[in-house]
Amino acid sequence: DLPALYLQGGYIIPFGPPHQHVGESNPLDDLTLIVALDEHGKAKGSLFEDDGDGYGFTEGEYLLTHYVAELESSVVTVKVSKTEGLWKRPNRRLHVQLLIGEGAMLDAWGNDGEDLQIEMPSEIEVSKLISSSKEHHRLRLESIKHIPDVEDGSGHKGGELSRTPIELANGDWSLKIVPWIGGRIISMVHLPSGIPMYPKI
């Protein structure tokens, strides 16, 4: 399971589908913007795109897009405020996820480069969305399976060794991990204080 991700208000984080390397990416892939408004109802972020290889960017072969979001009269408008570079914008879909608190969010779809407006729900509807998000999070936590200190399992010769937890210590920190592919951190402890910084599952 991934740790919780917190986004400071006032910022927009762009991302696309997961890829193993830049050669797999396609400019026409859907673009997602995670938007977290600040106390003034505004947010901003930028996305830099180039060929991923070579030095064409030094001659302007890139696209740098600055996005902004602003809340006015219960409507959030997400749009492009400025662009740089010689590349033309790909004809792709835009997916905006507007965070409204406690893991709850609003989803909206449009086309990249065009203004996208999201109407904010009423306070009652926001409360329902937040309650639903909390319940979903609670169910996920309950479904987490405990990882034993040593896992018994059959597999390739020597595979069992990679399932045995190991401890790494460096300076003030002690890290206990299970190192097989897809493994995870079991615990992280600050040695001088004895305070665990990563809760043991």
- Distance between CA atoms of 5 and 76, rounded to whole angstroms? 23
Please report the sign of the dihedral spanned by the C-alpha atoms of residue 94, residue 47, residue 83, residue 89.
negative
What 8-state DSSP symbol labels residue 194? Answer: T
Q: What is the pLDDT of residue 156?
A: 52
Query: What is the structure's pLDDT at 1?
Result: 45
Residue written as tokens 């507007």?
A: 98
Residue 194: pLDDT over 70: no
> For 153-163, what is the mean pLDDT?
52
pLDDT at 32 over 80: yes
pLDDT of residue 25: 81
Residue 29 pLDDT > 50: yes
What span, in angstroms and rounded, lies between the C-alpha atoms of 54 and 22? 13
Q: What mean pLDDT comes out for the span 37-56?
A: 92
Q: What's residue 139's pLDDT?
A: 82
Instruction: Give me the domains of the chain, ranges plus CATH numbers.
Output: 11-132 (2.60.40.1180), 159-198 (no CATH)
Which of 59, 67, 61 minimizes the C-alpha distance to 27? Answer: 61
The pLDDT of residue 200 is above 50: no
d(CA 68, CA 92): 18
Compute the distance between CA of residue 10 and CA of residue 12 in angstroms, rounded to an integer.
Answer: 7
Higher pLDDT, 24 or 153: 24
3-class state of residue 120 by DSSP: coil
The arithmetic mean of pLDDT across residues 90-109, rounded, is: 91
Nearest to 36 by CA among 79, 98, 81, 80: 98
Which residue type, as a one-letter code, is found at position 72? E
Mean per-residue pLDDT for 114-122? 93
Q: Are strands 63-72 and 42-49 parallel, antiparallel or unpaired?
A: antiparallel
Name the token pair of 152. 């018994």
Quote the mean pLDDT of the chain. Answer: 82
Taking the C-alpha atoms of 47, 50, 56 and 60 in order, what is their torsion angle to the nearest 10 degrees? -40
Residue 148: the pLDDT is: 56
What mean pLDDT do residues 40-67 have? Answer: 93
Band (76; pLDDT cuts 50, 70, 90): very high
